[in-house]
């Protein structure tokens, strides 16, 4: 009798463990299927086009992807000679290329603004920034010193160059912007500060501006090299940018965001150095609902700077 009870309890325990272990997989499958259905629905309602590009990264020696939004009229024969500014929208950590499409509906916001004539038509690119182990392998778009994963060079040389070679962009710094959220907000500011010859406009939403502000990522990518930590800290390196008079920086942060102090400190530093910049603080926290609601400000800011050089 005791043996039967032990067997019965063992079966019940195994069933409970199996159920608990299967719950995350159920939610993951549901999330993926739901995202795909929603993404397909968005395609059907668009005047522009959203495309997925899968390619072999020469820098990373791995298959990568990016999504790209082409504005209404891009494929019209009458517009064959028209070139467009480009905004690169970077995801956070953890994250995937499609986050801004599925969670933030960024292309829908942009298309609506284009059709309302609030902004001029532009191209929007959503790169995959994940490390070799997937979306939880966060790198801040920084290069590993041992050369094993050069995320910064991948964005600059693989993604930007491929977009400029394949699509009708205005392939100059005055018509190219980097924007992002959280880790992507840091990356947008860092890429623009380190490479003003590539990006002249940065829009950082809920970002941070010193590598040490997100020490786990800095340590994961840069190791103990404090010189590299400083070299990837826009708060410090902005003073050394010779062309900073040509940079344009928008900072957006929620009033309850954990990085609010960093945004205020960086805004003060930019003002001190005479950089064209704005800080917008509004009610909200570190979330996609806040970022998607504030994306309009980012697009208006970039559009005004693009138009100034048209």
Given a cut of 80, whether residue 105 has pLDDT beyond it is yes
pLDDT tens for residues 170-203?
Answer: 999 999 999 999 999 999 999 999 999 999 999 9
Cα(68)–Cα(166) distance, rounded to whole angstroms? Answer: 11
Cβ atoms < 10 Å from Cβ of 302: 26
Which is more confidently placed, 29 or 7? Answer: 7
Residue 50's pLDDT is what? Answer: 96
Q: What confidence category does residue 9 fall into, taking pLDDT thresholds of 50, 70 and 90?
A: low
Mean pLDDT of 158-172: 98
Cα(205)–Cα(104) distance, rounded to whole angstroms? Answer: 13
> Strands 176-181, 86-90: parallel, antiparallel or unpaired by DSSP?
parallel
The pair of three-digit structure tokens given for residue 38, joined into one six-digit string: 């929603």
Residue 8's pLDDT is what? Answer: 55
DSSP structure string for the chain: -HHHHHHHHHHHHHHHHHHHHHHHHHHHHHHHHHHHHHHHHHHHT-SSEEEEEEEEETTTTEEEEEEEEE-TTTT-GGGTT--B-EEEEE--SS--TTHHHHTS-HHHHHHHHHHTTSS---EEEEE---BTTBTT---TT-B-TTSS-BHHHIIIIIIIHHHHHHS-B--SGGGEEEEEETHHHHHHHHHHHH-TTT-SEEEEES--SSGGGGHHHHHHHHTT-HHHHHHT-HHHHGGG-TTGGG-EEEEEEETT-TTHHHHHHHHHHHHHTT-EEEEEEES--SSHHHHHHHHHHHHHHHHHHHHHT-
Ramachandran assignment for 67, one of left (phi > 0), alpha (psi -120 to 50 degrees), beta (any other): beta
CATH topology of domain 50-308: Rossmann fold (3.40.50)
Which is more confidently placed, 212 or 18? Answer: 212
Mean pLDDT of 4-18: 47
CB 177 within 8 A of CB 302: yes
Distances (CA, A) of 267 to 113, 207, 248, 273, 276: 27, 12, 12, 10, 10
Cα(231)–Cα(91) distance, rounded to whole angstroms? Answer: 22
Residue 135's pLDDT is what? Answer: 84
- Average pLDDT over the chain, rounded to whole? 88
Cα(150)–Cα(155) distance, rounded to whole angstroms? Answer: 9
Residue 310's pLDDT is what? Answer: 78
The pair of three-digit structure tokens given for residue 240, joined into one six-digit string: 């050394």
Give the whole-number percent of the chain exceeding pLDDT 70. Answer: 85
Report how far apart the first and last C-alpha atoms of the chain are (Å, whole number).
86
Question: Would you list the domain boundaries of the chain?
Answer: 50-308
pTM above 0.95, yes or no: no
pLDDT tens for residues 110-148?
Answer: 999 999 999 999 999 999 999 888 888 899 999 999 999
């Amino acid at each position: 009798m005791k043996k039967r009870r032990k067997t019965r309890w063992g079966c019940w325990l195994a069933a409970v463990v199996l159920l608990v272990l299967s719950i995350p997989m159920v939610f993951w499958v549901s999330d993926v299927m739901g995202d795909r259905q929603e993404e397909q629905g968005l395609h059907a309602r668009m005047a522009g086009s959203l495309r997925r590009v899968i390619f072999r990264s020469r820098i990373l020696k791995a298959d990568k992807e990016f999504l790209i939004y082409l504005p209404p009229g891009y494929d019209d024969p009458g517009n064959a000679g028209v070139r467009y500014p480009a905004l690169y929208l970077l995801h956070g950590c953890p994250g995937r290329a499609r986050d801004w499409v599925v969670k933030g509906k960024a292309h829908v916001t942009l298309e609506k603004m284009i059709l309302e004539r609030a902004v001029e038509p532009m191209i929007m690119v959503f790169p995959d920034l994940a490390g070799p182990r997937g979306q939880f392998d966060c790198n801040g778009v920084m290069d590993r010193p041992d050369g094993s994963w050069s995320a910064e060079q991948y964005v600059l040389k693989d993604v930007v160059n491929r977009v400029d070679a394949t699509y009708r962009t205005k392939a100059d710094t005055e018509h190219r912007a980097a924007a992002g959220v959280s880790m992507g907000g840091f990356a947008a500011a860092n890429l623009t500060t380190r490479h003003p010859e590539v990006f002249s406009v940065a829009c950082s939403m809920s970002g941070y501006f010193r590598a040490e502000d997100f020490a786990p990522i800095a340590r994961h990518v840069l190791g103990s090299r404090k010189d590299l930590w400083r070299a990837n800290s826009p708060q410090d390196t902005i003073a050394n940018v010779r062309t900073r008079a040509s940079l344009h920086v928008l900072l957006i942060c929620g009033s309850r965001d954990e990085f609010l102090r960093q945004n205020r400190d960086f805004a003060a530093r930019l003002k001190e150095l005479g950089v064209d910049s704005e800080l917008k603080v509004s009610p909200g926290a570190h979330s996609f609902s806040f970022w998607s609601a504030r994306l309009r400000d980012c697009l208006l800011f970039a559009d005004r700077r693009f138009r100034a050089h048209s």
